[in-house]
Chain A
Amino acid sequence: MDTVKIVLRDQEYEVKSGMTLRDALTKLGINRESVLATRQGELITDDEILRPGETIRLVAVISGG
């Protein structure tokens, strides 16, 4: 299984492992300034290489009415 699941709110995306989180976000059209990324509950920076089979959960940071 060489894919990675990326979850943002109720949306799930799949990307190939081996690329950086930054490249994955760009590919998915998700602005890197608008999210934080967690791997197993720990915050990670966007230069991290995505590992096969893992799930990255994104935390949306924009709020305000």
Chain B
Amino acid sequence: MKCRKCDQKAVINMRQHKLALCAVHFPQWMVEQTQRFIEKYRMFTPKERVLVAVSGGKDSLSLWDILWQLGYTADGVYIALGIDGGFGYSRKSQELCEKFAAQRGLKLIVVDAAQQLGATIPELAAITQRGKNKPCSVCGLTKRHILDQVAREGQYDVLATGHNLDDEVAVLFGNTLNWNVGYLSRQSPVLPARHAGLVRKVKPLCRFYEREMAAYALVRGIEYIYEECPHAEGSTTIYYKTLLNQLETDRPGAKLSFYLAFLQAKEKGFLAQPQTEDDEEGIGAAGEHLHTCPSCGGPTTLEGLCAFCRMVEKVK
């Protein structure tokens, strides 16, 4: 198969776009498209400071690489979670992030969750018994808290994450199956800052297939952690992604059209939340009112300590 733009051999065929590109034109296309999505969804401007949440995986490192190529002021933040899995998962991920940043002269902020909290994520999960024998719930809560904190303290304008289209569609699929209207109404390429303790969150890769992200990392020679998080095995997200890829195989473009049609439906008001006087500011992910945590100053859906600070209290 030849590249659409030249006569070189294609390295990827994106059937949903009827587009095959070579090793030169594919990464160029990815960078151009990312810029298009940043502008289309009004994610951020070149004047704003971006904090990129990096995990050492293909998506977040590729996002950082793309933003770097586009000339944005983008620092990275890595959270050391203390997950080992028998092969030093967190340690290896951190090393890859540090190497990536050093190669490009970029600033990487490393936060050691265990040092900050007094326990690793798996230890926290065991102590708090939160999340049915899996640390994923504790991990998610901790990451969200630390990312918001670093973004706030560093006075960044925006926090960018490497969520790709497969991530977004898996969430959309799960929330649709359960008709979680509150979560559906908030799912978006841009999540505005809804509280003084939050910054705007954006997903510049939300229209790229996961396959394209892996291809981009390979073509660009980005070293990423190939091993899956040891706790992700058997996760619902992976199950949904597998199902959706079966659908995509038979109907190229099914994932993309599911996501884009959802965004269009939202724009037309199909999933509108009841309007309140302080809409946007002070409304949580599922449409609930937000309060301020007296300990960390972050948002919380209940009065008093936020879920993260309650968890930390248990460790003490």
Which of A's residues lie within 8 Å of B, judged by CB? Answer: 31-36, 38, 42-47, 59, 61-65
Smallest Cβ-Cβ distance to A63: which chain B residue: B228
**Residues of chain B lying within 8 A (CB to CB) of residue A64:** 166-167, 170, 232, 235, 237-238, 241
Is B13's CB under 8 angstroms from A33's CB? no
The SS class assigned to the B binding surface is: helix
Q: Are B245 and A65 in contact (CB under 8 A)?
A: no
Binds A, one of B37-45, B112-120, B147-155, B208-216: B208-216
Closest to A9 in B: B226
Q: Which residues of A contact B241 (CB under 8 A)?
A: 34, 62, 64
Known A31-B245, A34-B245, A43-B219: A62·B11 in contact at CB below 8 Å: no
Chain B contacts with A in 44-80, Cβ cutoff 8 A: 57-59
Instruction: Give the CA-CA distance A2 to B22 in the complex, in Å.
Output: 29
Which of these, A36, A42, A44, A46, contacts B214 with CB under 8 Å? A36
Complex partner residue of A43 from B11, B166, B229, B245, CB under 8 angstroms: B11
Q: A31-B249, A45-B10, A45-B20 are in contact. List 5 more A-B contacts (CB 8 A).
A: A34-B245, A43-B11, A63-B210, A65-B232, A65-B237
Report the count of interface residues on B (CB-CB < 8 A).
Answer: 38
Is A33 in contact with B214, judged by CB distance below 8 angstroms? no
- For the complex formed, measure the closest distance between the CB of A43 and the CB atoms of chain B, giving whole angstroms: 4
Contact in complex: A62, B166 (CB < 8 Å) = yes
**Contact status of A44 and B11, CB under 8 A, knowing A31-B242, A61-B214:** yes
Whose C-beta in chain A lies nearest to the C-beta of B229? A65
Q: Which 5 pairs from chain A and chain B are nearest by CB?
A: A65-B232, A43-B11, A33-B245, A61-B214, A64-B237
Question: Is the Cβ of B214 less than 8 Å from the Cβ of A45?
Answer: no
- 22 CB contacts below 8 A, A to B, read A31-B242, A31-B245, A35-B211, A36-B215, A42-B11, A42-B23, A44-B9, A45-B1, A45-B10, A45-B20, A59-B214, A61-B210, A62-B241, A63-B58, A63-B210, A63-B229, A64-B167, A64-B238, A65-B231, A65-B232, A65-B235, A65-B238
Closest to B26 in A: A43
Question: How many angstroms from the CA of A34 to the CA of B240 in the assembled complex?
Answer: 12
In whole angstroms, what is the CA distance A38 to B11 when docked?
A: 9
Residues of A within 8 A of B219 (CB): 43
Q: How far is the CA of A32 from the CA of B246 in the complex (A)?
A: 9
Q: Does B12 interact with chain A (Cβ within 8 Å)?
A: yes
Question: A44 contacts which chain B residues (CB < 8 A)?
Answer: 9, 11
Q: A62–B215 contact, CB under 8 A?
A: no
Cross-interface CB contact of A61 among B1, B170, B211, B231, cutoff 8 Å: B211
Alpha-carbon distance A35/B226, docked complex (angstroms) = 13
Query: Once the chains are docked, how many angstroms separate the CA of A59 from the CA of B215?
Result: 9
Asked if A36 contacts B211 (CB within 8 A), the reply is yes
Q: Specify which chain B residues have a CB less than 8 angstroms from the CB of A42 in the assembled complex.
A: 11, 23
Name the residue of chain A whose CB is nearest to the CB of B225. A63
- What is the CB-to-nearest-CB distance from A35 to chain B, in angstroms, rounded to a whole number? 8
Contacts of A34 in B (CB 8 A): 211, 241-242, 245
Binary interface profile of B, 194-237, with partner A (CB < 8 Å = 1, else 0)? 00000000000000011101110011000000101101100101
Asked whether B248 is an interface residue with its Cβ less than 8 Å from the other chain, the reply is yes
